[in-house]
Amino acid sequence: MQGKKRQTYKFIFSGQTKKEVIFSKELLHLADESDKEELEQIGFFEAREVDLYLQNASIYILRIDGKYVGLGTLIYPYWRKDIPAQNFQDIGMHVAEEYRGKGFGRSIVQHMVSICLENGKIPIAECLIDNAASKATLESAGFIKH
């Protein structure tokens, strides 16, 4: 018996952001194999996903004074059948609990949008319907439901 499909909101970038970023894009570190152990401990990825993301996506880690603050991900939305995946990049984001509600999530998403646009891709995102914080973060970063 298959599990129940989780309901999500689907978002697309509107072309406008509502607020300024709170840190420079230069603080984002493009993850590689040397970051694998840290990525496994964050709790954003399932164990099998870390290798998949390192090989098939881009993970940008934000650290301030050497301490993990959050991360952003960019991946082609191969699971979406309603859009031509090669034209889009799906944005993911995680923020450590002690940094939530301070604008880091929005700023990470805004930097991911910037990278998508620089690569000629259309930024999209999804979040679970019951995740009000992620929905608010995406909307404050300029995303609209579609």
Q: How many domains does the chain have?
A: 1
Widest CA span in the chain: 48
CATH of the domain at 63: 3.40.630.30
- Residue 84's pLDDT is 80
Query: Is residue 2 included in any domain, yes or no?
Result: no
Structural domain including 43 reads: 8-145
Question: Residue 109 has what DSSP assignment?
Answer: H
Question: Residue 6 has what DSSP assignment?
Answer: P
Query: Is residue 1 included in any domain, yes or no?
Result: no
Query: Is residue 113 included in any domain, yes or no?
Result: yes
Query: Is residue 3 included in any domain, yes or no?
Result: no
Per-residue b or e along 112-138, where b marks 16 or more CB atoms closer than 10 Å to that residue's CB: bbebbeeeebebbbbbeeeeeebbebb
Please list the pLDDT of the chain residue by residue as tens digits (146 residues): 345 568 999 999 999 887 899 999 999 999 999 999 999 999 898 878 899 899 989 999 999 999 999 999 999 887 788 778 789 999 999 999 999 999 999 999 999 999 999 999 999 999 999 999 999 999 999 999 98
Question: For 99, phi and psi rounded to 5 degrees?
Answer: -105, 0
Query: Is residue 86 included in any domain, yes or no?
Result: yes
- Residue 4's pLDDT is 59
- Residue 46's pLDDT is 84
CA distance 3 to 69: 33
